[in-house]
Amino acid sequence: MDNIARMKTRTFVLILTSCLTSLTIASLLPFEEIQLQQQDLSSLSPEEASLVSSPELSSITNSKVGDCKVFPGDADWPSENSWDVLNRTVGGALIKTVPLAASCYEGAYYDKTQCDFITQNWQDSSIHVSHPSSVLSPLYQGNTCLPPSLLNATSCTLGGYPTYVLNSTTVSQIQAGVNFARNTGIRLVIKNTGHDFSGKSGGAGALSIWTHNLNAIEYIPVYEDDALGYNGPTFRGGSGVLARDLYEAADAQGMIVVGGEGQDVGVLGGYVLGGGHSPLSSIYGLASDQVLSMSIVLANGSFVTTSSTSHPELFWALRGGGGSTFGVVTSVTVRAYPTLPTTTARFSFTAQTIEKFMTGVKAYWDLFIKLADAGTYSYFFIIPGAIPTFIMLGFVAPNQTTTQVQSLLQPWFSILTSQNITFLQPPNITTYTSTAQALLSTFPTETLQPDGLIGSRLFPRSALTPSSPLANATWEAWSDSINKGVVIGFNFRAPNIHNLTTSVLPAWRDSVFHCIQGSAPWVPGREKEVREEFDGRMERWKAVLGDEVTGSYMGESSPEEVGWQESFWGSNYGRLVEVKKDVDPGDVFWALEAVGSEGWSVKTGAVIPDGDGRLCRI
């Protein structure tokens, strides 16, 4: 499907509030006005009401906190009638999980046509994004229901998928779902698009709050926040809004917002909660830096709006502290900027020898600081092969002309020429009149994560200053990974241009390069050697940076990051844990490597944390 066709498959509501001169935090999106009330419980018996009620509404709510979350098959697992009480309270929006590929297997869901479609499109993110429980990293779900053509799959079970999904379209439904999980002691997870690398948008035996249909978008031409010193245009969107939707809505107003390159990414969900990098980051900073308010359903079922003046400590935590930790975010208000003419470039190359290839890559590496400081962003792959292939998926230069981009890239291209490197795909340098059109036309649509381990590192400016001893050592450590697994690089900076105090990893501010690497394929029987070889490469990247302030971007990171607290949040971690304890003392929300998650783990039989097992206290 091309981008236009995809867009048409999803309708979003654009609400225009241009009649208002200014708007502040008080107002809500229409779906947020629908909150759980006493009268919603009036048809239930007191015992039934205690399943879905919160302390705010009733003094008779239960709150169950055991050593393990209640699991299917346990005596305490909610009865059919209890689930029905929840379903009635949420107006029939409760779905029993049926894995996406269930149509390929014998039984009630068998459907050959559907199976063929799923099999052919399995790599395409959109079928997973629009499904209530499917995720983009099936390895971290346990690979328990793949199309049979993959990995010789022969059966379909729930594995790390949740047991039930709440297809939420109102705040009231989310409150009922959170209350139900807390009151019955079952596991609660949140799925938006399912992009999470580590399976954090799923979990065995869980009730999942699905936020995908919270997709309203509102344009607010003038929004004032004196404490943050902002007075300008904003967009407020439901937390299910996709990058593509927000870009289109902004473009219609001659605006652009800070969002990811991935068009299916949930830019007002997990992405913005964890930091969020963008083709606009070199000029405007991270996505978290753009947030003016966030509304959220908390663990006790209360619904609050956070901003610089309302619940400021939680507001601080939500701007970088990560998803699935403090509550279910329902909407986010972000700064908007006038659209800019934007030039993008795409190309690919390989070389006659590995030495020439490395010289070609080094010429680019030496330009990282200069390119980031010029306000550009790039996203590239280095694919292993007899000689590796370099693919520039998108070099983006907001506010720059074709000529400017040619001259920025010229020092690199002249070295490619000196190495007799001819492009596989010659540079396509195109200037668009709007930033949104540049992003929507340049970046490929997303695919599933490869079946393998993944890890990432941020590289500070000091490690890339050409010809310094640290830069030389860093090049040695980094380039050693080329041709051992896929290398996925992002060259940009993320300055704190608004001088904010947020909870994002401090190392972002000095970083000019974010790099992900993958292991060799995760082949049955070879796991141990694949892991050892991969861990060695990750350790080299970490070790060479020594005492430099660095870390790893939590939104694109390893599910088995050693010292993840320090890697993902640095000096902000302690304060984040305090916020977590304050708003969710009973650990209603839990995800792998999330703030304050140390006390629990999933008891899985797998050699990787695949989410397929009971969640228990350690």
In the complex, which residues of this chain contact ligand FAD (CB under 6 A)? 136, 189-196, 200-201, 211, 239, 260-262, 265-266, 269-271, 273-274, 276-277, 323-324, 328-329, 446, 555-556, 591
In angstroms, give the least distance from the CB of 562 to ligand NAG: 29
Q: What is the DSSP letter of 572?
A: G
In angstroms, give the least distance from the CB of 580 to ligand FAD: 13
In angstroms, give the least distance from the CB of 547 to ligand FAD: 26
- For residue 514, the SS3 value is strand
498 lies in the binding site for ligand NAG (CB under 6 A): yes
- Residue pair 128/121 in contact (Cβ under 8 Å)? The answer is no
419 lies in the binding site for ligand NAG (CB under 6 A): yes
**274 versus 559: smaller Cβ distance to ligand FAD:** 274
CB atoms within 10 A of CB 80: 7
Contacts of 312 (CB under 8 A, 6+ apart): 306
257 lies in the binding site for ligand NAG (CB under 6 A): no
Residues 396, 408: Cα–Cα separation, whole Å: 12
**41 versus 216: smaller Cβ distance to ligand FAD:** 216
The tokens describing 358, both together, are 């490395």
In angstroms, give the least distance from the CB of 310 to ligand FAD: 18
34 lies in the binding site for ligand NAG (CB under 6 A): no
**105 versus 589: smaller Cβ distance to ligand FAD:** 589
In angstroms, give the least distance from the CB of 298 to ligand NAG: 5
Three-class DSSP labels, 421-472:
CCEEEEEEEEEECCHHHHHHHHCCCCECCCCCCEEEEEEEHHHCCCCCHHHH
How many residues touch ligand NAG under the rule CB under 6 A: the total is 32
Residues 146, 165: Cα–Cα separation, whole Å: 20
Nearest one of 211, 263, 258 to 234, comparing CA atoms: 258
The option from ligand NAG, ligand FAD, none interacting with 512 (CB < 5 to 8 A, set by class) reads none
The burial class, CB within 10 Å (0-12 / 13-18 / 19+), for 521 is: exposed
Nearest one of 218, 216, 241 to 19, comparing CA atoms: 218
155 lies in the binding site for ligand NAG (CB under 6 A): no
Q: What is the CA radius of gyration of the chain?
A: 24
Output the CA–CA distances (angstroms, integers) from residue 221 to 7, 18, 466, in the order listed. Answer: 25, 6, 44
In angstroms, give the least distance from the CB of 314 to ligand NAG: 8
The option from ligand NAG, ligand FAD, none interacting with 493 (CB < 5 to 8 A, set by class) reads none
Q: Which residues inside 289-348 make contact with ligand NAG, applying CB under 6 A?
A: 298, 300, 302, 340
Among 73, 107, 469, 605, binds ligand NAG (CB under 6 A): 469
Among 36, 49, 85, 94, binds ligand NAG (CB under 6 A): 94
Output the CA–CA distances (angstroms, integers) from residue 84 to 49, 238, 412, 513, 531, in the order listed. Answer: 12, 27, 63, 50, 45
**What does the chain come to in residues?**
618
In angstroms, give the least distance from the CB of 50 to ligand FAD: 25
The secondary structure element, H or E, covering residue 190 is strand 187-191
In angstroms, give the least distance from the CB of 124 to ligand FAD: 11
56 lies in the binding site for ligand NAG (CB under 6 A): yes
Interface positions with ligand NAG (CB under 6 A): 55-56, 87, 92, 94-96, 132, 151-152, 167, 169, 213, 283, 298, 300, 302, 340, 399, 419-420, 428, 430, 441, 467, 469, 472, 498-499, 524, 582-583
